[in-house]
Each structure stands twice: as structure tokens, then as C-alpha cells.
Amino acid sequence: MWVETSAEVYSVIYARHKKDLVVHSSFTDSTGNGYEYSNGKPTIITEWGFKDSDTPLVKAFSEKESELEKEYDTKYFIYLHKNPIDND
């Protein structure tokens, strides 16, 4: 389950584990109209995780309203595994 986190938490995790992290997935649509599954806005998504892991650890989701804007609005997420013992 993805949970939004702060830029600071994301940065600390990334910095601490940088040498062990690999890209698990990425998506770039710099114009917002380049792909059939585009949301109509320029978007960059990168998920990082450990090399031998099946699931990513952190994700950066950057989006802007149009390609004319200079800065992306970026949100950061951390992946939390559901405890298999917890039935909630």
C-alpha cells in the first residue's frame, strides 16, 4: 500500500540506501499527451526499490498542469507492506 510521505523522509531513505536501490519502474510523459494512458498532464513517476525485492520502497510522482509550466509539483510515497497476521 502506498502512503504519502514528506520530501524529507523520501530524501533520507534514498540517501541512506542509494547504492542499493534500483529503478523498479518509471513513466515519463513530458507533454501530457504522448500515451494512450496519459492523464493529460506532463507526468514523471519513478519507483525505487532494492535489487532483489519484488516490491518498490519509495516513489516520486511529479506532475504539472501543462508543459508550459517550468516546475513540477512532486509528491513522495513510501510502500508499506500489509502485515499478513493483521486481519484488519
**Each residue's pLDDT tens digit, 37-71:** 778 899 999 999 999 999 999 999 999 999 899 99
Burial class (CB in 10 A: 0-12, 13-18, 19+), 48: buried
More confident residue, 3 or 88: 3
Is 85 a member of any domain? no
Give the whole-angstrom CA distance, residue 69 versus residue 63: 10
Percent of the chain scoring above 70 in pLDDT: 92
Q: Whole-prediction pTM value?
A: 0.84
What's the domain range around 19? Answer: 2-79
d(C-alpha 28, C-alpha 17), whole Å: 24
Report if residue 28 sits inside a domain: yes
Task: Tell me if 10 is assigned to some domain.
Answer: yes
Our count of domains for the chain comes to 1
Q: Is the pLDDT of residue 88 over 60?
A: no
C-alpha 49/C-alpha 55 separation (Å) is: 7
Q: How confident is the model at residue 85 (pLDDT cuts 50, 70, 90)?
A: low
Q: Is residue 13 part of a domain?
A: yes
Residue 84 in any domain: the answer is: no
Q: Does 86 fall in a domain?
A: no
Measured in whole angstroms, how far is the alpha carbon of residue 30 from the centre of its chain? 16
